[in-house]
Amino acid sequence: MESSHTLLAAILLWLHLFLILIVTARAKVPAIIVFGDSSVDAGNNNQVPTIARSNFRPYGRDFDGGKPTGRFCNGRLATDFISEAFGLRPFVPAYLDPEYSISDFAVGVTFASAGTGMIMQLLMYCSINSQGVIPLWRELEYYKDYQKRLRAYLGDWKAIDTLTNALYIISIGTNDFLENYYSFPQRRMQYTIDAYQEYLVGIARNFIVDLHSLGARKISLGGLPPMGCMPLERAQNLANGNDCMETYNIVAMKFNAKLYDLVMKLNKEIPGLQLVFSNPFYILLQIITRPSFYGFEVSERACCATGMFEMGYTCSERSLFTCTNATKYVFWDAFHPTQQTNKMVAEHVVKTALSNFL
């Protein structure tokens, strides 16, 4: 009797693995599933107790219908354009947004939360902009809940197909440096910058391994942007004429190199994993340093308000300085790109990193 049970278990395991191989072999991406920070938050923070929000004008003024959704942008995010490039909806809705249901999330969903970072759950120190936001580990818990809802909606077989063939996008890390390491002397006393980067890489590794264990196979790990060229950082670089903070950009490049190495290692270690590194650094740096070549006029300051310090609630519709045409600007607020920039970055990432999944 015991041997028959063992045989049955082996057969069921084989059938499960065979099913995964079949659905993985299908090239089409049926859904975009997103984790991360404000670069990919479509409005989850609207539903949590935090000031890190953008569900008010002028945010969203160029979104469909001019609606402020909670995206930290005048319009769409890079993930919205990526979804469209894969033949899916032209936007990826926030999981906590009550206006959407599982029928919407079945083809795209973001669990991202503005202000979060890789180590939010471990912070002794965090900026006021990060208080109350959704930590990365909680985003994964929401994903588990999503899996259950998806199975109830689609049925087990189709849900497995969707979850296995979906493209998973991770965009996170900037806050770990600008809102954490460089904002608090205590953190810099605790870690050297190299040790801190290794610590973050370890967290990224564990997150990807956990995500894979839950069924993800096609994963894009995003790199850091040239964070030293964000208007907020340039505004503080008075000694160098408000030029880019090269120290921050060098850190971003080194960290991106470590993430790339992690991608290479995990692809060798984990059978069936299709992990790619999506690097926005160089295309963004080119746009910032050669704005006119890409059709922009202003890259050193943002469109909203004075364009130097404002984001979130300080990016107010009442400001008399907000630009009238955001397509001329690389940045929307002091921290986030405009819709036009997001579109260019998305096109670059699709071409250089995600094309194998098309």
Q: Check if 38 is active-site.
A: yes
Tell me which of 37, 39, 62, 336 is the catalytic residue: 336
pLDDT for the residue numbered 4: 53
pLDDT for the residue numbered 21: 44
pTM: 0.91
Number of CB atoms found within 10 A of residue 293's CB = 9
The two structure tokens encoding residue 274: 């299709």
Q: Check if 210 is active-site.
A: no
| Coil, helix or strand at residue 207 | helix
pLDDT for the residue numbered 23: 42
| Coil, helix or strand at residue 297 | coil
Computed from CA positions of residues 132, 342, 211, 253, in that sequence, does the dihedral angle turn out positive or negative?
negative
pLDDT for the residue numbered 20: 47
| Residue ranges, the chain, pLDDT below 70 | 1-27, 120-130
pLDDT for the residue numbered 119: 87
**Edge-to-edge, what's the strand order for the sheet holding 274-278?**
108-110, 32-36, 167-171, 218-222, 274-278
pLDDT for the residue numbered 99: 97
pLDDT for the residue numbered 111: 98
pLDDT for the residue numbered 6: 53
Q: Check if 156 is active-site.
A: no
Q: How many CA atoms lie within 13 A of 5 on its CB side?
A: 2
Tell me which of 176, 278, 333, 348 is the catalytic residue: 333
Tell me which of 38, 54, 113, 299 is the catalytic residue: 38
